[in-house]
Amino acid sequence: MNRMATAAVTMRSYEGGDEAAVLGIVNEDRLPGQPVVTAGMLGEALAGRSEIDAGWWEQLAPPRTDVAVDASGRVVGVVSYAVLRAAEVGFILWLHCREDERVASALVEHACTELGTESLRAFDFSSALTRGVEALPVRHRQATHRALERAGFTGEDLWRYMRMPLGSPELLPRGSGAMAQRREDGNLGMAVRGSTGQAVGEVVVGPPVEGTGVLWWISVEQAVRGRGLGRALIGSALRLLVELGAREVVLYVDDGPRADEDRSAANRLYESVGFTEVDRLWFYTRGPQP
């Protein structure tokens, strides 16, 4: 069993008896709009599987998960990490520590040492512990953010995480009348078609889990923008989610430096219908990146 002592905490491999303690630690970091992490979700994360970003997970070597324990033997933190098979790049996949800076630093240092790669990345894609949180929520996870920076990582602001309560359908934006269709991934898609029969606008939502739906995607063709189609599509999506039992909805906006287009108009649209920002999502790199 691998062990490393740092600042009065000791690292050891995750064991089955750690499940309850780890679930408690992970759920203390849960963002508004995210489901309570269950034993099943933890099992998927430990096995290196996730429905979201599944392609990335398939390219990784089997992850290792270790816990930090204090002098009394109590589990106070957990970190999971793996190496990309096709390149010598190490990934810190997920890490939780009740935002104790001492523990966060020990977990980051341990994962970097064990990975042993010059190129490192952290919080690069979504795990089974969340519903699409594809990076570190910096405002809620300040201790982890600082621990990464102290360890030499450079952070990049990539995503906006937003949330909106769903009240009476009469108060929601008016829908477009588009019909919802089940997709292969289990989500629901709604499209508006132009005079030629081609889709000129589309929205994709995730059915509610624990009362929370997800607005995964909305797109409007450039030629028909500025006519209210985006607002109508959002209205249709929100009304559908209410019909399915959703009490709130979350969304992610890729408006960071790597975004493929300006998202300012989209952000204004989301804010105008009632979405508010919960946090900013960052990912991190250290060393030369392939």
The pLDDT tens digits for 216-269 are 989 887 777 777 888 889 999 999 999 999 999 999 999 988 877 888 989 999
pLDDT for position 59: 96
What counts of helices (H) and strands (E) characterise the chain?
7, 14
Q: Are 19 and 38 in contact (CB under 8 A)?
A: no
* Rounded Cα gap, residues 214 and 250, in angstroms: 5
Report phi then psi at 217, rounded to 5: -160, 140
Distance separating the N- and C-terminal Cα atoms of the chain? 32
The token pair at 173 is 């934006």
pLDDT for position 101: 95
**Residue 2 pLDDT > 50:** no
Average pLDDT, the chain: 92
The pLDDT tens digits for 11-62 are 999 999 999 999 999 999 999 999 999 999 999 999 999 999 999 999 999 9
The pLDDT tens digits for 142-187 are 999 999 999 999 999 999 999 999 987 677 777 777 788 898 888 9
Residues ≥6 apart with Cβ < 8 Å to 185: 51
Percent of the chain scoring above 90 in pLDDT = 74
pTM equals 0.91
* Rounded Cα gap, residues 103 and 124, in angstroms: 21
Give CA separation, 203 vs 23, 114, 209, 288, in Å. 34, 42, 18, 38
Q: Are 201 and 220 in contact (CB under 8 A)?
A: yes
